Amino acid sequence: MTSPNTERKRRANGVESRRRILDAAVAIAGERGYEGTSIAAVSAKCGLPASSIYWHFKDKDDLIAAVIERSFETWLAAVELPGEDAGTPLERVTAMAANVARSLVDTPDFLRLGLMLALEQRPSEPRGRTVFLQVRDVARQRIADIARTLLPELAEADVQTLTTYAVAGADGLFVHREIHGEAVDLVAMFELHARMVFEAGARLASPA
């Protein structure tokens, strides 16, 4: 009823502005890392003046941490698709891995930025790094849970080893694709990886 005039759009919409800033920051930080992300560049990309960014975020550290948080949520939403609970355990594991691979192909910013942050060993650790390691651990827990569910006989120590190995392989294959580009079929590699890890787990669970 109340006709929304065009001018109103520009004015005082905190949620929308915050989103625009995060969108810009995700794109830039996902490409160039923490130091490579200048507030001026984010400002230019989102159209808001630099000082406005500081209304929404305490400082650059806060902004990057928020970037990690939001892009993790986005990524989780992309990963958690239904339809993975049918078929044999191996089929289910493979389907999940394919899902993760697809999400990483679609929105690689989260993991790319996260890995860059994780590799840095700066004396005063950026908060974004802490946040990434936390959410990464959440993801790790899920993988371990899946292992426990699908391979109930597996000893806990083997669950941990398998999970570490699953994550490490995923990280490494992601790096491989980042380096070699779109030619790499990440989905196929993740499926292969999932099968190898699953079969290794199966061998551990039931030693002939």
Give contact residues for DNA (rule: CB under 7 A).
8, 10-18, 37-41, 48-56, 59-61
Among 122, 134, 145, 206, binds its own copies (CB under 8 A): 122
Nearer of residues 39 and 118 to its own copies, judged by Cβ: 118
Candidates 27, 48, 52, 47; CA nearest to 37 is: 27
Helix (H, G, I), strand (E, B) or coil at 91: helix
Given 76, 178, 187, 205, the residue binding its own copies (CB under 8 A): 178
State yes or no: residue 164 binds its own copies (CB under 8 A).
yes
Residue 167 interacting with its own copies (CB under 8 A)? yes
Q: Measured between alpha carbons, how far is 94 from 197 in angstroms, rounded to an integer?
A: 10
| CB-nearer residue toward its own copies: 95 or 173 | 173
Give me the 125-154 binding string for its own copies, x by CB under 8 A, dash otherwise: --------x--x------------------
Spell 176-191 as b/e; 16+ CB within 10 A means b: ebeeeeeebebbebbb
Query: Three-state DSSP class for 170?
Result: helix
**Helix 186-205 × helix 127-150 angle, to 10°:** 50
Single-letter amino acid code for the residue at 158: D
User: Can you give the binding site for its own copies, defined by CB under 8 A?
Assistant: 30-36, 112, 115-116, 118-122, 133, 136, 161, 164-165, 167-173, 175-176, 178-179, 189, 192-193, 196, 200
